[in-house]
Amino acid sequence: MKIRIISELDDKEMLEAISNILREMYELDVDVEKVEKILDYRCFNSRRNQYDAWKLIQMYSGERGEGEYLLLIVKEDIYASGFNYIFGLAWQGVAVISTYRLRQEFYGLEPDRKIFIERSMKEAVHEVGHLHNLTHCKDKRCVMAFSSWIGDTDYKSWEMCQNCRSKLRVMQRSRF
């Protein structure tokens, strides 16, 4: 298995940080592909002024190669039914994260590269965890904890708790 990151952002520092943490956490090869546009008008909901993450994932499910997970990184706001917004979503080998609400500027604060990169790493690790069949964790410090707002993302670590690490090891061993 490998992870192919497809990104709308041409942010080498962030993409390198995400690639490195995914390699370390999941022990998989990671390739990065920069594209001009991932989002498609067919996913756009004009009433919400957001993109439907489920539709996006469904569109890209056919783009996945054999033995490959896809991680899409978009800069626009995304949502899923039942939520005002989401930071990311994963389903059947394809995950998406949005950097739209990960930037300090969204909250009226001064830009902070360190915080932006940390948040992006946490969301990438979290969504790829779902691709490995991990569920949300009750340990609020675990990267697999659900984030209902940016404060949850800031509070949690980019690492998994012992319980989630154990589950991941079992799943990784069953792959081989």
Identify the H or E element spanning 4. Answer: strand 2-7
- Convert the pLDDT of each residue in 94-108 to its tens digit: 999 999 999 999 999
Q: Hey, is 96 helix, strand or coil? A: strand
pTM recorded for the entire structure? 0.95
- Convert the pLDDT of each residue in 22-33 to its tens digit: 999 999 999 999
Number of separate helices (H) and strands (E) present in the chain = 5, 8
Q: 2-133 adopts what CATH topology?
A: Collagenase (Catalytic Domain) (3.40.390)
Mean pLDDT of 6-11: 95
Question: Taking the domains of the chain in order of start, what are their residue ranges?
Answer: 2-133
Whether 176 has a pLDDT exceeding 50, the answer reads no
Catalytic residue annotation? 127
How many angstroms separate the CA atoms of 153 and 89, rounded? 14
How many angstroms separate the CA atoms of 117 and 155, rounded? 15
